[in-house]
Amino acid sequence: MADPTEGSFSEPETEIMRATYRALREHGYADLTIKRIAAEYGKSTAAVHYHYDTKDELLVAFLDYLLERFVDTIRDVETTDPHQRLDLLLDELIFAPEEHRDLAVAMLEMRAQAPYKGDFRERFRGNDEYVRYMIKAVINHGIDEGEFDDVDADHVTRGLMMIVDGARTRAVVLDEPGALETARQTAAEYVDAVLT
């Protein structure tokens, strides 16, 4: 997978990604077209196609873009304390959908397409792998510092991702108030139970 810390988008590409973000939030995944993205971009569809041949290619780039933004957010976190860093990672992973519900709705639609679109699935897998890599690094750091028990960091990370993905799905499907807070609390209980 591409290293999301490189900042791989040119200026026009970043503009197209921002336009895609707005178009997805407004129209949802099913009704998204290059025409609608171009309208948000303020240029012609040809100007979009100059950078991305197809809608699917553009959307795969959009998944990279979201991961880069997530990585940027995490990098800005100043603390090096393992417990605090893990808390902040989980906050970011679980509460992000709350601030951008329209995007979370569109993302679940895209995720549901993964079995039909191999390039989506590969990108979801790559991004998941990267996020797990970040969580695992924090857990291993905590183990080295003696702050966490000597656990199987990979297994605990996968357990936490179950809770994160369950929260995201339930927040979109059931739209129940408090779902994300419950998930965050469950993640905290799981961390307390297995890491300390």
Which residues would be at the binding site for a second copy (CB under 8 A)? 28, 105, 108-109, 111-112, 114-116, 121, 124-125, 128, 155, 158-159, 161-170, 172-176, 179, 182-183, 185-186, 189-190, 192-194
Q: How far is the CB of 51 from a second copy (least distance, A)?
A: 26
Q: How far is the CB of 168 from a second copy (least distance, A)?
A: 8
User: In b/e form, how buried is each residue of 13-22, taking b as 16+ CB within 10 angstroms?
Assistant: eebbbebbbb
Nearer CB in complex with a second copy: 49/158: 158
Nearer CB in complex with a second copy: 135/172: 172
Neighbours of 134 (CB within 10 A): 18
d(CA 18, CA 16): 5
Q: How far is the CB of 189 from a second copy (least distance, A)?
A: 6
d(CA 186, CA 176): 16
- CA distance to 2, 53, 61, 64, 98, per residue, from 47 (Å): 25, 11, 16, 20, 33
Nearer CB in complex with a second copy: 16/171: 171
d(CA 27, CA 44): 18
Nearer CB in complex with a second copy: 2/112: 112
Judge contact between 47 and 13, C-beta under 8 A.
no
d(CA 194, CA 115): 33
Query: What's the length of the chain?
Result: 196
Q: Tokens 């860093």: give the residue.
A: 85
Look at residues 34, 37, 36 and name the one whose alpha carbon lies nearest to residue 15: 37
Q: How far is the CB of 76 from a second copy (least distance, A)?
A: 27
Nearer CB in complex with a second copy: 12/159: 159
**Tokens read off for 136:** 């695992």
Nearer CB in complex with a second copy: 140/169: 169
Q: How far is the CB of 195 from a second copy (least distance, A)?
A: 11
Q: How far is the CB of 42 from a second copy (least distance, A)?
A: 28
